Structure 1
């Protein structure tokens, strides 16, 4: 005999809502993407890249820039967002008060922007790489202001070149750029062409200058509409905004106050991708659970002693590994 399960009214409402969502067809709802938001008001882009103001039903939940949604017009011809599609990834950052806040979703790649002046601590870049892999997304390291290399002292220049060469040798994509000389701008623009990209970097590395060098090729009418919606300038600093390009499906997300991605728990896979040389050497350690500290037969420590792996890289790896899942 089958036992009948009695559901509460709230449980039944949730099941009914899921059934309604599942029964909706593509022909009944229009696809779209959230471009930016201002309070409860949302600016969305439809399948033809037209922008619309709208609001979401409470059942949809909180939305953020990059969310793919389904919408329709109500009886008053207002845009009403009915559904949110599953997110591929989600960027959450604490605000000025320490409260966690959604900033962007469905990010394909992240530009980790550093520069000749100011030169970013390499460990900040490498921690960011770990978090980008954890999203997951593709990291692209940008060395900006390369026109200043000739103006800094030889020791600092050698340090920068050696660090960038190391990242490239480990398989990370590195693009050298300069707004002043034009170096790498077209390469960067091609990289952004069909990807949804988030740019991060310390203050002063030239992230805004790079954005302004690239976005003039975007749809100027759309940029004007976004600016008016946010009630601010072209590059808003209060809400994450997706600036789309008319010749591709990609765009550049301007997210305020983001320079890296601290994560509470580091996935093991992300750590391995960010430190490929340590992961490769660890396969030859005597013990499978080797911590690479003072265990006998540690291939990683041997590689450090031979100068094949940097000591600072191993120290950072060990610190992050302590929080891995």
Structure 2
């Protein structure tokens, strides 16, 4: 009988990951089964009241009542979508059952919705009723304007105001002069288009007060690659939270995920912040080329001016965008980013989806 080959480290990791996944699924099924046993009768519930979803956990959600108390609730089966930031109608149970204190009856109409494309579920909501998206980039991992452009396209589709934040500015001194100038030139492009750009460093305590002022009148969400320092910024803005943070991996250069569930927090001086799970890749494969075009707001004057209706905006003769770039009416860098996003729309959805 042939001797069995020794499993590689990669095979062992995959086996361990599959075992862990089965255990998690078993635990989730058990929790779901327990929650489904809870059958609230009408006379066991209090009067309907309004609340805000602070966080969502599978079949449960934490609701903040008008008196600021937090209640873990079940969801009515008629509710097919519920995310952090949703305003809801809920009823408190007269008795607590399995740590559940009430039930969510209905979801109010949303003022805005930030969604992500999911291979299996289509567009998957992330958070609701947001008025401002803070796109966080940083010096480390390496500054990447293409990812910022993807977030800007998504923000323009939702109608939510985007603000660009360059984080970890204390590390700028570790770059050579040409690298510093390149980052600043790219940020100036965004300013020239009309986007607001902020600078911050929690380590050096720089830009934190300006960031607080920007957040005070909004319900905001931080988005950006893992490792750009979103949770660290939240810690600087709200020191009492003590959110878990991790350093960027020295091996991969990628950030380590630290936030696992989206959660809404209140600032003492006003304004709310939704801290969401880290995202390494922002897929836009669910958008049409026209929607991507509209996401590059400085391209609007040239919309519909191409010689051919089916212009691919690459080497097509009479392309209005290429001509505008050649005449310095739009930047070549933004045009190249736009072309890359268009090319990615046809990629396999499994490689374009979010990596949470």
Shorter-chain TM-score: what band?
Answer: 0.7 to 0.9
**Greater alpha carbon shift after TM alignment, 258-267 vs 53-62:** 258-267
Which residue of 139, 151, 160 maps to 2:183?
160
After superposition, the Cα gap between the structure-2 partners of 1:236 and 1:244, relative to the gap in structure 1 and judged at 3 Å, is: farther
What is the distance in 2 between the residues matched to 1:315 and 1:118?
22
Contact 1:109 1:137 in 2 (8 A): yes
The within-5 A match list for 1:285-300 is: 285=306, 290-294=311-315, 297-300=318-321
Residue in 2 that maps onto 1:210: 233
After superposition, the Cα gap between the structure-2 partners of 1:32 and 1:271, relative to the gap in structure 1 and judged at 3 Å, is: same
Residue in 2 that maps onto 1:5: none
Given the two structures, how large is their TM-score scaled by the length of structure 2?
0.68
Contact 1:92 1:104 in 2 (8 A): no
Q: Do structure 1's residue 145 and structure 2's residue 168 form an aligned pair?
A: yes
Partner-residue secondary structure (3-state), 1:208: helix
Q: Do structure 1's residue 305 and structure 2's residue 326 form an aligned pair?
A: yes
Write the deviation string for residues 285-318 of structure 1: whole angstroms up to 9, x where unpaired: 5666654445555443223223443334223324
Coordinate RMSD, CA, aligned = 3.2
Contact 1:45 1:52 in 2 (8 A): yes
Contact 1:145 1:179 in 2 (8 A): yes
Q: Alpha-carbon deviation of 1:146? A: 1.6
Which structure 1 segments of 5+ residues have no match?
1-26, 228-234
Residue in 1 that maps onto 2:251: none
Residue in 2 that maps onto 1:82: 105
What is the distance in 1 between the residues matched to 2:280 and 2:161?
16
After superposition, the Cα gap between the structure-2 partners of 1:119 and 1:286, relative to the gap in structure 1 and judged at 3 Å, is: same
Q: Do structure 1's residue 92 and structure 2's residue 125 form an aligned pair?
A: no
**Greater alpha carbon shift after TM alignment, 312-321 vs 194-203:** 312-321
What is the distance in 1 between the residues matched to 2:79 and 2:132?
26
State the aligned residue count: 282
What is the distance in 2 between the residues matched to 1:205 and 1:236?
11
Residue in 1 that maps onto 2:141: 118
Q: Alpha-carbon deviation of 1:103? A: 3.1
Write the deviation string for residues 48-92 of structure 1: whole angstroms up to 9, x where unpaired: 332222222222234221121001223437422111112331423
Q: Do structure 1's residue 279 and structure 2's residue 296 form an aligned pair?
A: no
After superposition, the Cα gap between the structure-2 partners of 1:181 and 1:313, relative to the gap in structure 1 and judged at 3 Å, is: same
**Greater alpha carbon shift after TM alignment, 102-111 vs 121-130:** 102-111
Residue in 2 that maps onto 1:135: 158
Which residue of 74, 78, 90 maps to 1:71?
90
Write the deviation string for residues 257-280 of structure 1: whole angstroms up to 9, x where unpaired: 324542333267753553233222
Given the two structures, how large is their TM-score scaled by the length of structure 1?
0.74
Residue in 2 that maps onto 1:45: 64
Residue in 1 that maps onto 2:260: 238
